[in-house]
């Protein structure tokens, strides 16, 4: 008999703004909903280790979805007539649309990199509807990552994006895992990574919003790798200092993609964060 992994993937028709989308969603486990948000230019495959972790899926319904234009989610009709540019408003609309379509009640939301940024805005706006957030490599403001060479006709975009992000891994993470993340990045659609970084470095600024987060209503755990030079530990420390009652942990020996680059080392940090955000 074939032995399948416990991850189940399906397509979800959902309206985001004025567009109808076919969104790919995968999940594993049961219990408290844990909605996971992938990094810029990547997709839900980054969370496969978490979805295969029986201790986590025994307590949590781990759900992840590919943003429009990403992974196995298609772009909307007419995508060829416009340049892809993610904005804070569009990002929030996409998350809320999927969250609502799935009927999630007081979920936890965990995001990494640009996902770790947007969870801060979710907590500021919708803290009464959330149980808590886990921000992986979370920053309230992250200028400097955008450049025009990320989508250029003379450059192989897939290899550039994959190699551009490869250096964000810790040098101590297993190479097989770093290369796996490289492979996922190499499959990003033309201009998608650049469009995401447009949000992350040019549109994103939550420095005033995060002070409104009430951690008695919405728990906050922040985890950042010591080798992350995109969202540095100092950037996340600034976020933690602005959110009273938040829990910040520096992940020793980790980089920018903890859930995919070294799940074994990341796991104890994640379990501790999950305990914090589910505590009464």
Read off the pLDDT of residues 201-258 as tens digits, 9 standing for 90 and up: 999 999 999 999 999 999 999 999 999 999 999 999 999 999 999 999 999 999 999 9
Mean pLDDT score across all residues of the chain: 96
What is the structure's pLDDT at 8? 98
Report yes or no: 210 and 138 within 8 Å, Cβ to Cβ. no
Q: Has this prediction a pTM greater than 0.85?
A: yes
Task: Return the DSSP state at 17.
Answer: T
Tell me which of 102 and 146 has the higher pLDDT: 102
Q: Are 110 and 119 in contact (CB under 8 A)?
A: yes
Q: What is the pLDDT of residues 166-217, one digit of tens each?
A: 999 999 999 999 999 999 999 999 999 999 999 999 999 999 999 999 999 9
- Give CA separation, 114 vs 40, 73, 87, 149, 172, in Å: 6, 18, 11, 20, 23
What residues pair up with 211 in beta bridges, in sequence order?
A: none
CA dihedral 151, 39, 23, 188 (to 10 degrees): 30
In the prediction, which pLDDT does 68 show? 98
Q: How confident is the model at residue 280 (pLDDT cuts 50, 70, 90)?
A: confident
Write phi, then psi, for 206 (nearest 5 degrees): -115, 20
- Rounded CA separation 50/53 (Å): 5
CATH 3.40.1010.10 fits 8-278, yes or no: no
Length of the chain as a residue count: 280
Ramachandran angles phi, psi of 188, nearest 5° = -65, 145
Closest CA to 277 of 124, 162, 110, 122: 110
The candidate with the shortest Cα–Cα distance to 33, out of 64, 62, 65, is 62
Q: Which of 77, 18, 7 is nearest to 44 (CA)?
A: 7
Rounded CA Rg of the chain:
17
Residue 262 in tokens = 């070294």
Q: 76 to each of 47, 187, 188, 279, how far by Cα in Å? A: 25, 19, 16, 40
Asked if 272 and 150 count as a contact pair (C-beta separation under 8 A), the reply is: no
Task: Copy the structure tokens of residue 212.
Answer: 């409104």
Rounded to 5 degrees, φ, ψ at 45 are: -60, -20
Q: How far apart are CA 152 and CA 145, in angstroms?
A: 16
């Amino acid at each position: 008999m074939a032995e399948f992994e416990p991850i189940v993937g399906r397509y979800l028709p959902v309206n985001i703004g004025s567009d109808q989308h076919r969104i790919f969603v995968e999940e594993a486990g049961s219990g408290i909903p844990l909605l996971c948000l992938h990094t810029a230019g990547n997709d839900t495959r980054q969370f496969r280790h978490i979805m295969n972790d029986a201790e986590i899926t025994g307590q949590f319904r781990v759900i992840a979805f590919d943003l429009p234009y990403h992974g196995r989610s298609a772009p909307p009709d007419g995508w060829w007539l416009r340049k892809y540019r993610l904005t804070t408003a569009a990002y929030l609309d996409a998350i809320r649309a999927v969250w609502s379509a799935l009927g999630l009640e007081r979920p936890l939301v965990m995001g990494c990199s640009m996902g770790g940024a947007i969870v801060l805005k979710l907590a500021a706006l919708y803290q009464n509807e959330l149980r808590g957030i886990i921000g992986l490599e979370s920053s309230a403001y992250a200028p400097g990552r955008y450049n025009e060479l990320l989508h250029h006709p003379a450059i192989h975009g897939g290899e550039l994006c994959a190699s551009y992000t490869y250096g964000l891994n810790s040098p101590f993470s297993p190479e097989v895992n770093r290369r796996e993340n490289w492979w996922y990045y190499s499959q990003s659609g033309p201009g998608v990574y650049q469009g995401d970084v447009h949000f992350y470095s040019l549109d994103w600024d939550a420095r005033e919003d995060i002070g409104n987060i009430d951690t008695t209503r919405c728990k906050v755990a922040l985890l950042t790798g010591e080798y992350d030079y995109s969202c540095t530990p100092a950037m996340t420390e600034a976020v933690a200092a602005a959110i009273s009652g938040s829990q910040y942990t520096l992940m020793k020996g980790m980089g920018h993609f903890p859930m995919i680059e070294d799940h074994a080392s990341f796991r104890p940090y994640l379990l501790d964060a999950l305990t914090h955000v589910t505590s009464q």
